[in-house]
Structure 1
Amino acid sequence: MRKTNRPAAALLALAAALTGCAGTGPGAPEDRAAPEDCVTDYAEGRDYFPDKATVEESELWDIAYHGSWKTITLTDTEDAAGGDLTYVLYQCGTPRPEAAGELADALFVQVPVTSVSVTSFNALAMVDRLGEADTVTGLSGQLLGNAERDAWYAGVVEEAGGPMSIGEYTDLDREAVLGLGTEVILMSGFGAGFDDVSNARAAGLPGVSVSNRMEGDALASAEWIKMVGAFYNAEGAANAEFDAIRSEFDEVVATVSGAVADREAGYLCVSPERGCEFVHAHGERTLAGRLLARLGADNVFAPGNEGPNGRPYDYEEAVGTAADADFFVVYDPMELTLDALDADPRFDRFRPLAEGAFVAGADANFEECRAKTYLDVDVLVRDFAIGMAPELFPGERGTCFTRPS
């Protein structure tokens, strides 16, 4: 049972979290109390961020630098009215900017952060790729559970040194978050109708929205590694990682250019165990839908499918819509996909499913790929390309999406 009375130490930890003081809560390692790169000779007007991020692809966030502090402004994807969220990141050892005017409602965080909780699997992939997994002191129960069945998650948890459970993103354990001296909680920012980040902030917790899955373009999604990197003063590393992703991504697109122009494809879910009553497919406004278009394929589920997360189709509508399809990407694990196809003969009406002309999630590393594919979009686009045009990638198999054996 969750306790209702917080100890004094937890209240002190809350103050530390909300002002950005590093690692002062119980459970935080001693070496996190005073980061080595804290400023000891502050001088007004000096630039304390020699490495800077520039937003090139994203439509949902931006960053500005102000000497000893920086501001990140991003679209509040939980707000149907399109409001903004502001985070003020100020260098350890320098004055905290005044919470006034446009900054009155901002979340103030002292950087570089050293005690981080994570409930977003996309954000965890970014933290890991930046080499900052050792700062993770708290994880949602779902992410910790994944460590019991996935080698990548297990490695991240080991690198983190045994992070504590902080509940789930829809029901955070406030006492656990406070007790860890958490400076930020990296959370998934989904669309209108979700309120995970809003509820965390309303409860006085330092929730940060990582909304990369709401981007329409794959490279824009990957660029969120720069946003996460800014909390670590790791803009240089984040820039390098993004440039590497973009280079590989562009190479695949150039290789496939024109080769799949006559392919009718779709991105869909079929497994009832994962919430698909029959078919749930992505249209042209989703990241996967735009990825198909980027490769030059026609998305059979694009007409009338404007939702940012796609929409469900019943049997008759799905069969009619996908009548000309010759290739599918199924985003269920392969085992569940094959189970669904065996259990429901209606799927034989879809030519790609009947003929095995599809790729589905690789069972062996499904959870790892679920965390990484919206960051490692170079891997994602290569998997799509190998599935549609295997002749262009002789001897290669997909990493996260593979054809049935």
Structure 2
Amino acid sequence: MNLRALKTVFFKEVLENARDKRTVMSSIVMGALFGPILMVIIMNTTIKMQQDKAEQKLEVPVINQAGAAHLMDFLSAQDVTLQELKGSPEEAIKNKDHDVVLAIADDFAEDFSQGRPAKVMLYHDGSAKGAAKVSVNRLRSLLNAYDRSIGTQRLQLRGISPNLTNVVMIEQHDQATKESRGAMLLTVLPYFLIMGLFMGSMYLAIDTTAGEKERKSLEPLFLNPVKRDTVLAGKLAATVAFGLLTLVLTLVAFKLTLPWYPFEKLGMRFNMGMQVMMIMLLVLAPLALLAGAIQTIIAAFAQSYREAQTYVGLVLIVPMIPSMLLMFMPIKEQLWMMAVPILGQNLVINELMRGDIVGWDAIGLVIAGTLIMGLALAWIAVKLYNREKMLFTD
């Protein structure tokens, strides 16, 4: 392979795309900054809303307050503002007029005086998100406290020790560390890193293949006394370089935005020191070759830039699959999993975020598995461009 020609093609593609402000903004700036900035905004906004809700005076609409005067006195003593609700509790929750509604059963007073369980109804939306659940949890905790208090008093009046009802004493040993709790908050970090890498190489992969076919500039390019393999290798190298650049910028952006994450408020910690960043870069770097090769192959079959953009855009779903699975499914890491591209990167980054020590055998397997797959796809991409029908739009 003519390295001088490869270098010429590489710098040609890099310079041409660097001059295109739209490409730079879409692939590098947006790809690198979108994830970190979005996460900071979402997390701080969510935590602030929940804290504000927790610190505000709890307001509870109650149906039939007169039926449970003692309970109302208890709630008022806990600084709860009681409101009378005359309408339907179902409608109040459905219309989001209130987060929670307390309804007292008509026979509450009679059951309470007879020592029988007295019923109250708690209306709320279990699918509600964010701060709405804070009010529900606060009211439920107060009702449980009232239940325990009355139960204890009844036993003591009968000369019975309340400890007789405690059959099992649970002593909890939470093994979670501040780092592992912080990892829960940043479960989307691997997704944003991988997504940024794919976005960084996407536009260049499309422009150097389908874009040039649409502009009919591939044919004169291949008339030069240089092998097609060398030309496409140079284009692919430029695509990989843009992906790596976006990856580095995304890592740096996450590092710079860490002080704005609400870790201390939540009793969490996240270590993103130089060693952790270098390991992340090491395991993610081979994905740049894999992403560039996949996008080049798909773009090779497109007849226009817009068509290629549609097809390659669908590839962005691929990084989502392992990331989403690991967010919602507990998976015990096995060494063989590290050889699966994208899945291996997710597993290693998750372990690093939890503060666990990642073995070099796992890191080596992640790099080797992704690199082998990337090289195989790059070889296929090069061979595709040796076929005449791949070079023309007609």
**When the two structures are superposed, what TM-score results if normalisation uses the length of structure 1?**
0.20
More strand by share: 1
Larger RCO of the pair (alpha carbons < 8 Å, separation 6+)? 2
**When the two structures are superposed, what TM-score results if normalisation uses the length of structure 2?**
0.21
Question: Which protein is bigger by CA-based radius of gyration?
Answer: 2
